[in-house]
Structure 1
């Protein structure tokens, strides 16, 4: 099954918590702090595998989470780092942030990697909080959460040549004739419901990749007839081969067909419409094709295009077409195939530094990830730990903000869901 667009949820592993421990040796039963740091969480990493041609592996499983880091241990032993989760994707995969639609990565070459969700940092053990005045801290730091987000993976085929045209003009037949590809072929509209790739060999060191793009229809640029799903696969091609049925079997006008397809390309992407085109008249073997061919050739002459007559069924003009394509490819300036990658929609580190102090009705509220982490790191039964909690709150200006809002001694403040009495 060919799948070229999926939405998945990715989450980096959480960092392990730091440990609270003390040395307990034979001749030193009350030693100093010896709690180790927690391990970092694993990251979710996308990696290009040239053996893959589809995003089918992501069709049925949508949630991916890397391993959490281990908690710290006694004797200053660090927790083990969580394993990274590596997700393999085919070449040509574009990664978008689902919320904004911004492109955050474009993975082209085999082996390319991108960290799409970083693991959280491990928390520090209590040995890291020992000072000259605090010899035996009974608290440690909680590990950071891993990054999490919804992303969209879009596959855009990487081919030298893109075959375009209305349904049933013979694109699949042509691809099967010029390459070893075996697309499904039959005499009805939308035979091809997925792009097909074929390698065209002309001789030693002379070959190119051709993509048969499913038939376009009017309104394709707006998504009609799965237009978006098909059009994106020709964005990376260097050259477009525009195949036109000149036999008028379906009562179509070849000149109108030429302009309609180009109009769809222009509306979808002005860059796509500017790509070099070879206009090819197919089904020239049919008796009624001469009138259509002459009409098309006359119109194309006005635009500076030469029309190449072929028959994908009898093989007429096929070899000539292959060499024309090859020569044309040699003279096309290399066009960057990378998408414009925008900066990340948000900086996860900055996003989780935010602390909100507000008043809703008669209730004072403090919330934000740094405070949530501080709560998890605090041992409220220990005086040193409680003092550490208060010092951090004071340094962050939280007490000053609460006083600006009018809080009085003895009033209740909700800190990340936990209620405390305020005393200056």
Structure 2
């Protein structure tokens, strides 16, 4: 809506310049300082937008890639609009924390915050280190220069103090995704981080050991990585011995990872870790094989998933197309899960199967028929978040070569080009 002043100017026969010459001008009044909304008001704003988006997309369960892009664009536009009246550079940390969920969703606000945090990162303090980490974490969403992000974090004067602080786990996760060549430039700094892992270190840092070992493996020789692994595992073991409740469970999971194949650096290029199959079926109810030994001579695509996992189910069309495109005598595709105590059907109500494995297997077979699954599904005695494979989230894809060795791990089923390239390469090599 136009203001009265704007409406008057738009209907006046003179241009604004002529108007200024014809009318005596008063000194402009100083703008009254604008008080930004309180942190509580901003939290309410965030909650209101989330509620609106939840209602709008409540009926969307398995969006196609095109639909997902449209949803993401809509969410970004609404987040941009919700933050449009705020000058992020003038907000205190409490207010910034309140709008953090929206900043992550808003491309405009994200760009502003990246620049703001990058400037703050120049401070040689723990606060400066935190800003460096936050800047990098935000920038990763937009395919930023991860090498520059690694440089900003690893060369920071407060690296050791910062790693031990509340942002240490996030810093290690960001760094673990940075390119090998960038990390090798800071090998000494990465090795020195190992000293921060002690029995009295924050639990949040100790359970991020897998991220640390991942970046160490990229930057350091194997003998140094093995020595660091022993140090880190010793710290986790010592802390786990006295931990209780949730912390104890978190530390036990970290222990399993550190002692597993991925944690030992013995996954890719090594024989597939043990997988004990409790149930193997095709949609027609047949059992095509019983152990991985039966699949020797084939390329095997292992897709770790669960019925309740939206992104897992969203990738079904890509997996189904792969099954159609590759001959079954050359490539086997297996959806791996573990007993979950329920089956989250998509075309019928969810079914509780807690304590009844036979019922869960029967429901999973019905699920396969409903979803027109054309590849093999299997239940393993090992948890779907298999520590040997270093799985922290699903879906997760690993590919075995014809000899049963792990050729690739950590792929996402939606990344069909990377998966197909790996399969094609193995097939070509096997044909020689």
Higher-RCO chain (CA-CA 8 Å, sequence separation at least 6)? 1
Instruction: Report the TM-score when normalising by structure 1.
Output: 0.23
By percentage of residues, which structure has more strand?
A: 1
Q: Which has the larger radius of gyration?
A: 1
By percentage of residues, which structure has more helix?
A: 2
